[in-house]
Amino acid sequence: MNAAETACKLASVLLQYPRPALFEGADRLDEAARATPRAARAGFAAFLAWLRAEPPGEVVGHYVETFDLRHRCALYLSYHRHGDTRGRGMAMLAYKAAYRRAGLLPCEEELPDFLPLVLEFAALHPEGMALLRRRRADLDLLRRSLEAAGTPYTHVVEAVCALLPGLRRAELRAVRALWESGPPSEEVGLEPFAPPEYLSGLTGGQEAR
């Protein structure tokens, strides 16, 4: 696993619901952070320092408050552009197509645009990193929302952004417009989903771990 793949894997772990294993493995997380690209290390170091300083119960409560109770901090990338509208369904098809091109399928219990799942994909296959690059503007919308919420999770998303090319002028204009207006609000009845598991091969192949 190269440095960028290590960064994607680490970010995927840190953005999932904080279970006991996360706190028990703090030393390994620090080691992984040191193996990431230089541009991403400061973000990971800042988040991991907060993780070590906070009681686990406080971290869990903060995670729920940030990602479950704030729509604009949702970890579903296409939400920030499409909200709960029919346009989001088309975005989902594009995500699924990217997984299929790599010979992988996401867990059926999770939406394919769930950021920890996309990051796991990027750690496994070049198509996953290409998908992140194509969704760079959506990632920046999430980063802005996390920054506005004042959460240390901003540092993790900043570390991921540091792995990717910067936004072009047209993308920046689109991001600013979407940030000011917020996600569209047409309801389409999307159901809640469980935390992510792993990606598996279409024909019993590679499993993301």
User: What average pLDDT values come out for the chain (209 residues) when binned by 10 residues?
Assistant: 95 96 94 97 97 96 93 89 72 89 82 94 94 92 94 98 86 76 56 42 40
Give strand pairing partners of 104.
Answer: 201
Phi, psi dihedrals of residue 196, rounded to the nearest 5°:
-70, 150
Question: What are the structural domain ranges in the chain?
Answer: 3-187
- Alpha-carbon distance of 122 to 2, in angstroms, equals 11
pLDDT of res. 90: 83
Q: Is the Cβ–Cβ distance between 104 and 121 less than 8 Å?
A: yes
Question: H or E element: which one contains 105?
Answer: strand 104-105
Q: Which CATH architecture has domain 3-187?
A: Orthogonal Bundle (1.10)
Quote the tokens at residue 106: 């996401």
Question: H or E element: which one contains 181?
Answer: helix 169-181
pLDDT of res. 185: 62
Q: For residue 21, which amino acid is it? A: A
Nearest to 142 by CA among 73, 81, 63: 73
Give strand pairing partners of 207.
Answer: 200
Q: Is the Cβ–Cβ distance between 135 and 22 less than 8 Å?
A: no
pLDDT of res. 174: 77
pLDDT of res. 186: 53
